[in-house]
Amino acid sequence: MTDTTVHPEHTGHPEHTDPAVQATAAASGAAATDRFRTKRPAGTAADTRRVDTLATEVISAVHEVIRRHKVTYAEYDALKAWMIQVGLDGEWPLFLDVWIENVVEEVNSEDRQGSKGTIEGPYYVPDAPSFPAEATLPMREDEGGTPLLFQGRVTSVDGTPLAGAKIEMWHADADGFYSQYAPGLPEWNLRGTVVADEQGGFRIHTVEPAPYQIPTDGSCGRLISAAGWHAWRPAHLHLKVSAPGHQLITTQLYFRGGSHVQDDIASAVKPELILAPSPASSGDGNGNEVTYDFVLDRA
């Protein structure tokens, strides 16, 4: 889908009249769908027996819910209409990453010894500009938000420093918007790949992101309001950390005491992932700083 124009007749939310808000919600779903369709496939696809097992059990699980709650034809038609609309809105990546990915991540990281990971979410973009170990993420001259120095070291599980480890970082701005998924932001705003020094060290200067609200004018927003849920993720930094001979880790870091750290709609917070920054001591003394080390499992 390349059509990123707003279709108010699809949203059913006439109360949203701010064009900037409408454009953001409609464009972000389509952009996430487009991005996913160009993604390199991860690993091998399932074989026939595996597809049979998984598809049969998913369908049976749905049947069970229908029987238990005696689902009506009106409800069945509402589900059908909603699923069609999720696709038209381009919101399947958003839906799946918010309500399903956390369990996929859980079952695929059970054996990990090193740092905890969590879900990737819909807004990763590969091949962000590369920077040396001490760097400032690309940002606008007047970028809002509290300055944040995020520093640490990447080591292997046995403590060996991983020189040249790659720290890919991406996050929302102080208004909760991601570059390439919201209009009006520079292409690589708050996205970068930092290469660790000889000791595996890195010092990344950025700004603290705002909490993220699931777009309210798309299909995911309609589900959220129809069910009486809230639409928020806590403020978070996204990271992918990798080094030769080691397992890549995809993670997110949160801020202690921030809103929705305890009730993330995407269920992606783990206690090990909550940062507690302190007022910056170095540099010009502006903003906050925090140290966080990454430990990578061997491949």
Min dist CB 255 to Fe ion, Å, is 13
- Of 41-49, 72-80, 94-102, 108-116, which part binds ligand MBD (CB under 6 A)? 94-102
Please report whether residue 97 would count as binding ligand MBD according to CB under 6 A.
Answer: yes
Name the one residue in this structure whose structure tokens are 């990915």: 101
# residues contacting ligand MBD (CB under 6 A):
11
| Pairwise CA distance, residues 18 & 268, whole Å | 30
Q: Of these partners, ligand MBD, Fe ion, none, which one is at the site of residue 122 (CB under 5 to 8 Å by kind)?
A: ligand MBD
Is there a contact between 200 and 159 (Cβ–Cβ < 8 Å)?
no
Interface with ligand MBD (CB under 6 A), residue from 33, 90, 115, 123: 123
Interface with ligand MBD (CB under 6 A), residue from 31, 98, 194, 261: 98
With CA atoms as reference, report the closest residue to 133 among 175, 163, 100, 178. 163
Q: Of these partners, ligand MBD, Fe ion, none, which one is at the site of residue 255 (CB under 5 to 8 Å by kind)?
A: none
- Residue closer to ligand MBD (CB basis): 203 or 233: 233
Q: Of these partners, Fe ion, ligand MBD, none, which one is at the site of residue 97 (CB under 5 to 8 Å by kind)?
A: ligand MBD
- Residue closer to ligand MBD (CB basis): 247 or 252: 252
- Residue closer to Fe ion (CB basis): 32 or 154: 32
Q: Of these partners, Fe ion, ligand MBD, none, which one is at the site of residue 197 (CB under 5 to 8 Å by kind)?
A: none
Give residues with Cβ within 8 angstroms of 281, minimum separation 6. 289
Binding mask 201-240 for ligand MBD (x = CB under 6 A): -----------x--------------------x-------
Min dist CB 36 to ligand MBD, Å, is 13
Instruction: Map the footprint of ligand MBD across residues 229-288, applying CB under 6 A.
Output: 233, 266, 268
Min dist CB 40 to ligand MBD, Å, is 20
Min dist CB 141 to ligand MBD, Å, is 24
**Interacting residues with Fe ion (CB under 5 A):** 121
Min dist CB 180 to ligand MBD, Å, is 12
User: Which residues of this protein are in contact with ligand MBD, per CB under 6 A?
Assistant: 94, 97-98, 119, 121-123, 212, 233, 266, 268
